[in-house]
Amino acid sequence: MIRKDNFTLPGAKGRPMLIDVTYDDVFKNAPLVIFAHGFKGFKDWGTHDLLARYFAEKGFRFLKFNFSHNGTTPANPLDFADLTAFADNTISIELEDLDTIIDFACSGASMPVANGVYLIGHSMGGGVSIIKTAEDARIKKLVSMASISGFRNLWPKQIEQQWRLQSVFYFENKRTGQQMPVKSTLLDDLDSHPLRLDILMQAAKIAQPWLIIHGDADPTVPVSHSEQLHEANPAAEYIVQKGADHTFGGEHPFAGDVLPASLIEFCDTAISFLSK
């Protein structure tokens, strides 16, 4: 039977991170996949539960979590109810959170110990996952899903001066209509750690097996990002998925109970890679 266990951990600055682990109870010691969501994302977004179930049915444990400063709260896990936290987020904070999640998975305190983990990172979470994989030998394999190749590719370079002057910049959430504030401390973080937070530089260091998947119909993160990642690390497997958009057919809210065809194709490709 497919089950889902829920946990809460203190993340960066003590902010809580909600976690769930989906698994088949016949395979409690199954290989563990950790999924890192992207910018303006959260663990319960759209198709993520169906994604977790699909992996569990194929013999994996699937852990997804909310980054501590992603703007959701334990009381409002589906809404950006804490824009103060969202505004304070940085890449270093997300790396700290991901380290905490891997510590949790490998400790065996609340579930069977993971002897190494597999990591799937989507979009901005892909960039964070690339850096973490370069740093952490506990990560045995990486799948980057529509990943960015540089954090500063997320906004036009010319807005940075205004962003610094006003100490905050607002990114529109087209789905909710919210203006999502991000403090200039995000820019300070990138400036203070230019080597660590250089995705392409870290990509070149990855020695673990790595699968790069990107849709050729992605309007959010152009496929050129994945081309740059593959150029940085030619040893990585690289697949451009025909017709796939940024979320591989997923949307929020998602009304169906079956994964979209593009996401099934993604899952099957990733599962084949992880099962080798």
pLDDT digits (tens, 9 = 90+) for 42-58: 999 999 999 999 999 99
Q: Find out whether 67 and 37 touch, Cβ atoms under 8 Å.
A: yes
- How many whole angstroms separate alpha carbon 56 and alpha carbon 60? 5
- Number of compact structural domains in the chain: 1
Beta strand pairing call for 32-36 and 117-122: parallel
Report the chain's C-alpha Rg in angstroms. 18
β-bridge mates for residue 143, sequence order: 120, 211
What domain range includes position 45? Answer: 2-275
pLDDT digits (tens, 9 = 90+) for 155-205: 999 999 999 999 999 999 999 999 999 999 999 999 999 999 999 999 999
- How many whole angstroms separate alpha carbon 157 and alpha carbon 40? 20
Token representation of residue 1: 């039977």
The residues near 166 (Cβ < 8 Å, ≥ 6 apart) are 184
Residue 127 has pLDDT above 90, yes or no: yes
Q: According to the 3-state scheme, what is the secondary structure of the chain?
A: CEEEEEEEEECHHHCEEEEEEEEECCCCCCCEEEEECCCCCCCCCCCHHHHHHHHHHCCCEEEEECCCCCCCCCCCCCCCCCHHHHHHCCHHHHHHHHHHHHHHHHHCCCCCCCCCEEEEEECHHHHHHHHHHHHCCCEEEEEEECCCCCHHHHCCHHHHHHHHHHCEEEEECCCCCCEEEEECHHHHHHHHCCCCCCHHHHHCCCCCCEEEEEECCCCCCCCHHHHHHHHHCCCCEEEEECCCCCCCCCCCCCCCCCCCHHHHHHHHHHHHHHHC
pLDDT, mean of residues 129-147 = 98
pLDDT of 116: 83
- How many whole angstroms separate alpha carbon 246 and alpha carbon 41? 12
pLDDT of 168: 98
Token representation of residue 268: 């099957």
pLDDT, mean of residues 216-223 = 97
What's the half-sphere exposure (Cβ side, CA atoms, 13 Å) at 180?
22
Residue 27 has pLDDT above 90, yes or no: no
Q: What is the CATH number of the domain that holds 52?
A: 3.40.50.1820
Residue 237 C-alpha from the chain's centroid: 19
Q: pTM of this prediction? A: 0.98
Residue 28 has pLDDT above 90, yes or no: no
Mean pLDDT of the chain: 97
Residue 214 has pLDDT above 90, yes or no: yes
